[in-house]
């Protein structure tokens, strides 16, 4: 696989959240020098809300829903989780042979995978594997964006307190999915699932810290960041693991 050299002055990281629906953020997103999307989130039919340019896609190692014919020429894809999983690495290599002209698949380095786990442990005080936690594609996407972008603007990603503050209001988990698959219901169920899950609300609380440390901001919705209380994570996942100690 080729070395990854993309560098951008200003990046739009486009969430797959249903929160983007109806926001009309497409033109604003496309004005950034690079546009980063997650997994196979579609553009066609949603341009008004999510834009139409794509500079990079960050995907999870499963890649089961990747149709090479849905990706335009010169697509750049970064996949996390490939290197520890030989069968998935072989699938990615097979897929690459079917991609359109100029397209490239990059694999997150083993050191990058290790650093992602270490960062989760440092930020939460909990080891990912010992708490059956799964890092999300959003986690890897922001790590990559903060590395390659001089400034990073995230669109459609909700803050950790969003589901609590909005009561019973909910939006689709993905803007392109069934409206019955709800975002907050998914977040709440995942946050304290001891059998293994993403810790979406906890990740968002960590991202608020990163917004203060780095050139990172959030749009549609805008985040209110309580700078005085960033040192303490108060999320369902953190509280539940504290009780189990």
- 224-237: burial string, b at 16+ Cβ within 10 Å, e else: ebeeeebeebebbb
Alpha helices in 56-171 (DSSP H): 86-96, 110-124, 137-148, 162-165
Q: Which pLDDT does position 198 carry in this prediction?
A: 96
Residue 177 CB partners (closer than 8 Å, separation 6+): 18
Cα 140 → chain centroid = 6
Segment (H or E) for 34: strand 34-38
pTM higher than the cut 0.85? yes
Confidence of residue 19 (pLDDT cuts 50, 70, 90): very high
Strands 34-38 and 8-14: parallel
Can you read off the two tokens belonging to residue 155? 């669109």
Measure the CA–CA gap between 68 and 15, rounded to whole angstroms: 21
Confidence of residue 84 (pLDDT cuts 50, 70, 90): low
CATH of domain 8-244: 3.90.1480.20
Report whether pLDDT(148) > 90. Answer: yes
Report whether pLDDT(9) > 60. Answer: yes
Q: Which pLDDT does position 98 carry in this prediction?
A: 75
Can you read off the two tokens belonging to residue 229? 């209380």
Q: Which pLDDT does position 107 carry in this prediction?
A: 82
Q: Tens digits of per-residue pLDDT, 173-206?
A: 999 988 889 999 999 999 999 999 999 999 999 9
Q: Where are the domains of the chain?
A: 8-244
Closest CA to 1 of 70, 111, 67, 96: 96
Measure the CA–CA gap between 122 and 238, rounded to whole angstroms: 13
């Amino acid at each position: 696989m080729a070395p990854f050299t993309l560098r951008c002055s200003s990046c739009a990281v486009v969430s797959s959240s249903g929160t983007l629906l109806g926001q009309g953020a497409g033109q604003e997103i496309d004005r950034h020098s690079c546009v980063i999307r997650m997994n196979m989130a579609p553009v066609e039919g949603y341009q008004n809300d999510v834009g139409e340019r794509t500079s990079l896609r960050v995907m999870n190692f499963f890649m089961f829903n990747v149709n090479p014919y849905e990706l335009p020429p010169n697509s750049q894809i970064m996949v996390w989780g490939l290197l520890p999983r030989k069968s998935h690495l072989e699938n990615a290599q097979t897929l690459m042979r079917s991609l359109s002209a100029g397209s490239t698949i990059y694999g997150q380095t083993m050191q990058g995978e290790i650093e992602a786990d270490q960062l989760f442990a440092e930020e939460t005080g909990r080891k990912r594997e010992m708490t059956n936690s799964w890092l999300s594609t959003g986690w890897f996407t922001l790590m990559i964006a903060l590395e390659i972008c001089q400034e990073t603007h995230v669109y459609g990603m909700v803050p950790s307190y969003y589901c609590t503050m909005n009561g019973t209001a909910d939006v689709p988990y993905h803007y392109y999915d069934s409206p019955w698959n709800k975002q907050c219901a998914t977040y709440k169920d995942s946050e304290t699932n001891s059998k293994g899950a993403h810790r979406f609300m906890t990740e968002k609380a960590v991202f608020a810290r990163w917004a203060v440390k780095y050139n990172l901001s959030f749009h549609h919705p805008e985040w209110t960041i309580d700078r005085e209380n960033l040192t303490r994570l108060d999320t369902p996942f953190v509280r539940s693991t504290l009780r189990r100690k």
